[in-house]
Structure 1
């Protein structure tokens, strides 16, 4: 799984919205991908309405990648129809490692993942104050950050990669309409990323954001939403390839 040059290559993408993304495009997206990368990261909104039959369609497209580990988190679209648990089970049954406040180690690299939640960024982040419904909204954002912290705390690897659906920083959602930016992520997710010395973060959700940015601690963050990748790399396979150094001593 580690390449001859001593590096691990990750392929990362989110917002597949199967079956809104056609079968032909999904086939082209994954065809022979295991010859270009070592691990595939799926950053949420894998289905369009979060239905079990959509998850089954996606699982069929992923079947050709059985030689390649696939690590995923769910997105907000997976929750639309109340079938998110079944969607996760279907994907897991096809060999996908679905993370939700959990972590996995693959060949010396640690992967931690959560869906995340919205709430805004920095000083303008929503605080748990006022009406109960606003407190509950803010608490959801806090709980997702705590889940990420718990997942990272379990890893003992030198390299740690985080998958989320919602963004942990403002920079990678810039370009979206100003009015919806607070609903695209939460800087509360950034806190455990910096504290645990994460190597990189991949997220989706912001279809018209920016490709990359950095946390205040200098951790690179990549927006791998499919619509953004399509727009940014016309004529090429719309998937982000990222190289990680091999674990020390390998």
Structure 2
């Protein structure tokens, strides 16, 4: 008689970790942030979120590099007051068209929100997508949820120092890359990269890159859900579009 034996994978999960109870935090108005340790979850919707986020992030990084008729395909030139989008040039008097596009997009977002809730926040919001990337760096360098909790509770050591330092280095590098790409939508991206890394970029270009790099690092690395619960204006009026049939996914933030 043959017995089907299945091998169970054994993972090293630290046990000497204090129990994390968000409900016990101080609810005072200016209380320090109670850090959320996110556990990696697998499933259909998580895979869908990652794939959608990856596609739109890839578009964000690739679009400024595309050439069309010998010129940058998308260049929003604020100083010359014209937007070049795949050969189409929009001048200030054409902004009425952009206003209509934005209004249609906004109403489409409101319509989808009424039926499916916070799908924008969970799948496409840049704050969510970039936070996932930062958490990916954190997990790969510092370990699983329990390992990160244990690491934070340990006194400073060489192991803790290099893991924390490498995490923040990756965050800063990715923030700088994000800022360069974003500014590259408003100024020719090829010369921007060359000038920035050869210390020849202009004052406003350098200031813009450093500013958006700092914002990315602060938002995705430190603020995370605080950006959604306290700062994001869309979160303020989003519940007004909900009804009893709206899909709602919540957690204790």
Could you state the TM-score of these two structures normalised by the residue count of structure 1?
Answer: 0.25
Higher fraction of strand: 1
When the two structures are superposed, what TM-score results if normalisation uses the length of structure 2?
0.25
Structure number with higher helix proportion: 2
Q: Which has the larger radius of gyration?
A: 2
